Chains A and B, each alone.
Chain A
Amino acid sequence: MATKSHEPVIGDGSLHIGDRVVYPNQGICRITGVETKQIAGQNWEVVTLSREEDGATVMVPKGKVMGIGLRKVADVAAIDRVFDELAIPNTDPQLDWKVRHRENADRMTGGGLFGTVEVLRGLHALSRVRPLPQKERELYDNARHLLVGEIAAAMNIPLHVAEDNLDYALWPPPGMTRKGRPLPPATLGPPSPTRPATEDDLGLEDEELGGAVVAAAPAAEESDEEEEQPAAPAVPHKPAPEKEKAKPPHKAAKPAAARKARPAPPKKAAPPKKAAPKKSAAAKKASRKPAGKTKVKRKR
């Protein structure tokens, strides 16, 4: 009791020196003490933490300990609930990147265990639909890293075993059950695009590839149009409206190309003037040729 009375109060009193805590976005740390540091001419009482992963020292002003989301490592019951949640397949990922980004950022800075789980589940579900952009791929890795570290710390198991168990829930192997309930076995997800689509992709290629372009489009080019995507599957006659939607921009492009092509025939018809009999044939050919070919000829 005597030692406890001398022990400094950290946060709301639930944290003590030597406790293992979770620092949001940093991972598992151990409270090493409370020190007074002189910073910018002022004396600050700071709580020093040592990050277990690499031994880095983190200092938090004592008054802000609770505000930043510092918390104790989750208990076994909480981890069990995490796996219950992970084992429920998420088939409805947030497709609006702005909403997704805001929600995920809030969850990660909040530092809650279930917030991290939500981030991982959401991005995992999204990765089953399409490849993640670089920033979200990093976030996915970061969330996984934090979660694996906390599971391993809470259950006192090696990190590798913790990650394998995490993925037994996300990608259940055949025959895997959770509390007596069989889980659906893992299916093959979409691979990342070998070659990212460039902005040079024109309407013509879109037409050739059809819906595949939408699936392989880099998520970095995400826009507000994404908001319309969830609504698309709800339309009963999916293929027909998509074609109709896809055509207008292409149609708009065609007149432009045609306009460019129309003045070309007289220009091309001009050189054959020397060969008078061929004139009409050349003009006919020029009118039949696609816009692309006429462009090439004009360059000459």
Chain B
Amino acid sequence: MIRIVTLSEFPPDVIDFVTRRLHAAYGMGCELEGEGEIPADALDDEQSAYDAVKVVDEMDDDVTLYADDKILYLTTEALTAPPGPMGRGPVDGYAQYGGGKALATAHGLADKGVPLEVGLAKRAAHYVGHLWDLHHCFDPRCAMHPGWSPGFAAYPEVALCLFDREKSERKIKLGSS
């Protein structure tokens, strides 16, 4: 089961759209679990964006999880991540690879010209995919394609490529066994 926790206010129809798209993408149940508050101390040094890694790690929620459950946090806040060898790049979410928690933001979707619910659903599917060890995909139509690439806006529909779909199915089956 994919459990969604909202950290900002979202219209109900947007959440409904996201849950339906996630269910279609992974064949798993997906429901809105509740609301939460983004940890204030996760703000970065410039106080302009939240450190995505800290948000996920420090998030204090009382969501009951079972063996294969995954939590997806949704927010509208700007996110950042620790600088890597390439410096800082655009960050629209974070996921614990092979873990249980992921975070996706709706921030910046308007700049891409993608409707809120569609863009958020695609980002959500992307970060939930990382929870099943899916890596980035070179197919621009796949939800696992990097979010900053032109493929995100060119193919806004939530779909996984054949390879990623099979891999996620395998991982989900292994998890449930």
Complex contacts, A161 vs chain B, CB 8 Å: 53, 81-82, 84
Beyond known contacts A83-B85, A124-B138: 5 more, CB 8 A cutoff: A131-B139, A163-B97, A163-B135, A165-B85, A186-B150
Question: At the interface, yes or no: B26 with Cβ under 8 Å from chain A?
Answer: no
- Of the 9-residue stretches A32-40, A140-148, A224-232, A284-292, which lies at the interface with chain B? A140-148
Complex contacts, A148 vs chain B, CB 8 Å: 135
Categorize the interface residue count of chain B.
Answer: 20 to 34
Classify the interface of chain B: helix, strand, loop or mixed: loop
Q: How far is the CA of A162 from the CA of B130 in the complex (A)?
A: 13
- Of the 9-residue stretches A13-21, A59-67, A172-180, A240-248, which lies at the interface with chain B? A172-180
Nearest CB on A from B104, distance (A): 12
Complex contacts, B167 vs chain A, CB 8 Å: 141
Q: How far is the CA of A158 from the CA of B91 in the complex (A)?
A: 14
Q: A160-B94, A173-B148, A186-B148 are in contact. Are A192 and B85 (CB under 8 A)?
A: no
Categorize the interface residue count of chain A.
Answer: 35 or more
Question: At the interface, yes or no: B20 with Cβ under 8 Å from chain A?
Answer: no
Question: At the interface, yes or no: A26 with Cβ under 8 Å from chain B?
Answer: no
Q: How far is the CA of A19 from the CA of B161 in the complex (A)?
A: 38
Q: A173-B148, A188-B154 are in contact. Are A137 and B163 (CB under 8 A)?
A: yes
Q: A171-B146, A189-B151 are in contact. Are A80 and B163 (CB under 8 A)?
A: no
**Can you list 24 pairs linking A and B with CB atoms under 8 Å apart?**
A53-B98, A83-B85, A138-B163, A141-B163, A158-B82, A159-B97, A160-B53, A160-B81, A160-B97, A161-B82, A162-B84, A163-B97, A167-B146, A168-B84, A171-B146, A171-B149, A173-B89, A176-B86, A177-B87, A186-B150, A188-B154, A189-B138, A189-B140, A191-B139
Question: At the interface, yes or no: A169 with Cβ under 8 Å from chain B?
Answer: yes
